[in-house]
Chains A and B, each alone.
Chain A
Amino acid sequence: MTATDHVDLSVQSGEFHGLIGPNGAGKTTLIHQLSGALPTDSGKILFDGHDITRASLHQRVHLGMARSYQITSVFADVTVVHNLALAVLARRGSSLSFWRPLAREVALFEEARTLAQQVGLRGRENTVAGELAHGEQRQLEVGLALATRARLLLLDEPMAGLGPEDSQRMVALIAGLRGAITLLLVEHDMDAVFRLADRISVLDSGRIIATGTPEAIRSNAGVKRAYLGELSA
């Protein structure tokens, strides 16, 4: 099966790039391929000029590319800071330490706490992740990706399942990252994408059918057809 086909997508350094498309267009598959969770049969993925097509998921993270998940994928049994501390740990190289309790690694938890606050989880640091509200779990999800300090973040529907209020908070959170990172944002929430993105690409049936500024995409005839009027409002 071919879920993505001749995708030609380039994300400029520093830009916020939106990726939209109807259900089943292949957005998540593309994220899987870009992040290294799924193999790429043909074609090339370049990052910073390097060919990373064959690099594994964890290698790509160390090269500076991290992702979040559409279906929340946090460590449900441990606290918010513990989640983030694990993420910080991953960035700090070797974890072949067998003696010193992790809980005593102050610097690690300090950074984890800062991250928790950055994603709006102040006061929830010591809550077990599984007991967080859905919106808070989505914030933690983004926090885990942020903790990698990747230069390129692939956010897979960060607003998935969020109510209007939580969505607002998430948009503000993401907007706050501008300048610090490059972003590829897959999102169903059109308002959010059009507010956040510098450029938008439209994926339909595994192909990129258009790339341009939000204004250009809004008025693109092909895009309108693909969405059958979803964007006409």
Chain B
Amino acid sequence: MRVTAMRNVIAIAAVALLVAFPLAARHWQQLFYVSFASRILIYALAASSLNLILGYGGMVSFGHAAFLGTGAYTVAMLMAQGLSSAWASWPLAVVVSALFALVIGAVSLRTRGVYFIMITLAFAQMIYYVFVSLRSYGGEDGLNLTARSGLGFGLDLASDITFYYVVLAMVVACLYLMQRLLDARFGQVIQGIRDNEMRMEALGFATYRYKLICFSLAGGAAGLAGALLANQNGFVSPNLLQWTQSGTLMVMVILGGVGYVYGGVLGAGVFLVLEEVLSAYTEHWQLALGLALLAIVLYARGGIAGLLSRPTRGGEPGG
């Protein structure tokens, strides 16, 4: 109970800081960082959705970018057709991505281990080539969004600060839902399957069904991240669905903490800040990232979240 209370205090403090951030940025006239923070938040959502299946469901999917890209393309294509309302296109992005995940999962989840990794990768690459071949939507060159999605209520997403707050609200809501889900029956069953699938079967759980639902939910959440990312970039291209993008999401999760609620958030933050800072000095910034990843994998399996949460598992502070 104490750990949960501690976790809530940290979460509330973090949200408060994130709410105050644009005000500070405006005060010091560094609005660029607001847009950068939006980007981090969007990737935090994408990485968290991967963490749901990878960290909690034990499903090592190497094709998660497919759902991110599908969500982004759904918004861009609808806008190209003249439908720009966020209220229509964002939920559709979620639904389409979740359906893609449902179909891909239905096939992939019949395999295990390295075969599962390969088959998810294969499906993602197939979707990648589908979007490359869509000439009318830009093909390989991608597609520009004419504007950001419309929200109504006098809110204009063209403002980076408004957009930031909408993204923040979405990400916080999704993470809260994920937290609820993980503590509830469904999440506990999913984690039981991760720990010992055969035993869960022997207790009477139809484990395949639970894994498939989890996979589909994660796909939907990644689709929402994609919808936001399309708005953030004002542009979509097949690169969003490249397998390297799936790799990036996986690196974020490992860096942040596989199977930790805030692993995806921390991983996305550290990854993108590292990229931003280091790429100013050298083209080879990924070398530093590689070393950081190596250190994490060798010495801190729980990633950054694992390192941070260790003290809260001990006794009373100072006693």
Among A58, A62, A97, chain B packs the most CB atoms within 10 A around the CB of A58
Contacts of A148 in B (CB 8 A): 203-204
Which residue of B183, B185, B199, B201 is within 8 Å of A89 (Cβ)? B185
Any A CB within 8 A of the CB of B195: yes
Contacts of B185 in A (CB 8 A): 89, 95-98, 100, 102, 105
Please give the number of chain B residues whose Cβ is less than 8 angstroms from any Cβ of chain A in the complex. 25
What residue of chain A has the Cβ atom nearest to residue B1's Cβ? A103
Instruction: Check B181–A98 contact: CB distance below 8 A.
Output: yes
Given known pairs A58-B201, A58-B205, A147-B203, the reply for A98 and B195 (CB within 8 Å) is no
B 203-232 to A, binary, CB cutoff 8 A, 1 in contact else 0:
111110010010000000000000000000
Which residue of B181, B186, B196, B203 is within 8 Å of A61 (Cβ)? B203
Instruction: Check B202–A86 contact: CB distance below 8 A.
Output: no
Instruction: Check A90–B199 contact: CB distance below 8 A.
Output: no
Instruction: Check A96–B186 contact: CB distance below 8 A.
Output: yes
B 170-210 to A, binary, CB cutoff 8 A, 1 in contact else 0:
00000001001101111111001001101111111111001
Which residue of B177, B183, B187, B204 is within 8 Å of A90 (Cβ)? B204
In the complex, A58 Cα to B181 Cα: how many Å? 23
Contacts of B187 in A (CB 8 A): 98, 102
Please give the number of chain A residues whose Cβ is less than 8 angstroms from any Cβ of chain B in the complex. 34
In the complex, A34 Cα to B15 Cα: how many Å? 53
Among B177, B186, B204, B210, chain A packs the most CB atoms within 10 A around the CB of B204
Given known pairs A86-B189, A97-B184, the reply for A75 and B201 (CB within 8 Å) is no
Q: B5 to nearest A CB, angstroms?
A: 14
Among B196, B206, B210, chain A packs the most CB atoms within 10 A around the CB of B206
Instruction: Check A69–B199 contact: CB distance below 8 A.
Output: yes
Among B177, B202, B206, B207, chain A packs the most CB atoms within 10 A around the CB of B202
Contacts of B200 in A (CB 8 A): 86, 90
Which residue of A76, A90, A98 is within 8 Å of B203 (Cβ)? A90
In the complex, A56 Cα to B180 Cα: how many Å? 31
Contacts of A147 in B (CB 8 A): 203
Contacts of B184 in A (CB 8 A): 97-102
Instruction: Check B181–A57 contact: CB distance below 8 A.
Output: no
Q: A221 to nearest B CB, angstroms?
A: 38
Contacts of B186 in A (CB 8 A): 95-98
A 49-79 to B, binary, CB cutoff 8 A, 1 in contact else 0:
0000000111001100011010001111100
Instruction: Check B199–A75 contact: CB distance below 8 A.
Output: yes
What residue of chain A has the Cβ atom nearest to residue B189's Cβ? A95
Q: B224 to nearest A CB, angstroms?
A: 16
In the complex, A54 Cα to B192 Cα: how many Å? 25
- Please give me the 5 A-B residue pairs with the lowest Cβ-Cβ distance, nearest first: A61-B204, A90-B204, A90-B203, A97-B185, A95-B185
Besides A66-B202, A90-B200, A97-B186, 6 more A-B contacts (Cβ < 8 Å) are A66-B203, A89-B185, A89-B188, A96-B186, A100-B185, A102-B188
26 residue pairs of the A-B complex, CB under 8 angstroms, read A56-B201, A57-B201, A57-B202, A58-B205, A58-B207, A61-B204, A67-B202, A69-B202, A73-B196, A73-B198, A74-B199, A90-B205, A95-B189, A95-B205, A95-B210, A96-B185, A96-B186, A97-B185, A98-B177, A98-B181, A98-B185, A100-B184, A101-B183, A102-B185, A103-B183, A148-B203
